[in-house]
Copies of this chain bind each other. A is one copy, B any other.
Amino acid sequence: MSFELSLNTGTTPNLSLEQAAEAVAEAGLTHIGPWRHLLEQAGGAQRSAAIIAAAGLTATTLCRGGFLTPADAPGRRAALESNRAAIREAAMIGTAELIMVVGGLPAAAHLIDGRGDAVEQSIADKDILGARERVAEGIAELVPYAAEHGVRLVLEPLHPMYAADRAVLSTLGEALDLAAPHPAQTVGVVLDTFHVWWDPQLREMIARAGAEHRIASYQVCDFNLPLAADALKSRGMMGDGYVDFPTISRWVAEAGYTGPVEVEIFNQQINDQDAAITLETMKQRFAQLVLPALKGARPAAEAPVR
């Protein structure tokens, strides 16, 4: 089967891993993409693997590693340590795909807490070029370890509104350039519609990502306006905002992608509602707006099928 729908647990932040896994199974889905803090709450990656298996599910991704922009040696060591732990956890729960949010400008990045919630910033270092260099160095340093564990570092370009505090990696093209020195089975990219829908080079870069065998995950959620008071929570259920899902999904399929499709929505109202309702809506909108375009598209002849 192709294009399996997967719940990213960021969509149901009030549920434990066990609760989320049960809700997914009850909704008739077979895939889940957990966040690391859920693994920790569940007693570690090994127990988490058992929970996921007991619900009859497969893990699609692990969220997340990254935050590689600290400029000081202790910050840098801590970041690499945390990423190595994340690589081991991904392998333990049986997914090859570790999502990487690369980090923002250093002072701000230091002030992001474990769940990635932004706290107040006091800025010292505005050198975005330097921050990007440190990301490249960090990735290079992690590649051998990831390869040993059969895990892929999946670079996530984030919407440019998060360039200062969360990810100095803002476009798919930039992610592919950052991945280029490394093997495709060890460094990939994730396409999240919220982050990239506006990009004038999107079609071209999705095709390039496919041709370079880098597409590790396709995540769908909408871009809502007005932006939420917490800008992170401006994501919406597919169809509620401005994203043209049929067009982007067609491009993704034409690039040869046939893997799972994850739904990751940070949105106060959706996060607070009954997970069964969220899962039902997800299924409907996916069937209506995303899946037909994925299935209808004919992959370009030279694109690999994963």
Contacts and interface: CB of A to CB of B under 8 A. Distances in A.
A54 interface: no
A200 B173 contact: yes
Copies of the chain in the assembly: 2
Contacts of A199: 160, 170
A277 interface: no
Interface stretch (A17-25, A127-135, A210-218): A127-135
A200 B225 contact: no
B200 A170 contact: yes
A200 B161 contact: no
A73 B161 CA distance: 34
A164 B225 contact: yes
A136 to B, nearest CB: 12
A74 interface: no
A165 B198 contact: no
A268 B89 CA distance: 46
A226 B126 contact: no
A105 interface: yes
A251 to B, nearest CB: 11
A198 B242 contact: no
Interface string A107-146: 0100000000010010100111100100000000000000
B161 A126 contact: no
Given A127-B244, A225-B118, A132 B170 contact: no
A92 interface: no
Given A170-B198, A174-B200, A200-B171, A161 B128 contact: no
Interface string A6-21: 0000000000000000
A273 interface: no
Contacts of A161: 159-161, 227
A128 B165 CA distance: 27
A127 to B, nearest CB: 6
A293 interface: no
A164 B121 contact: no
Query: Which 4 A-B residue pairs are closest in the complex by CB-CB distance?
Result: A163-B198, A164-B242, A174-B200, A160-B198
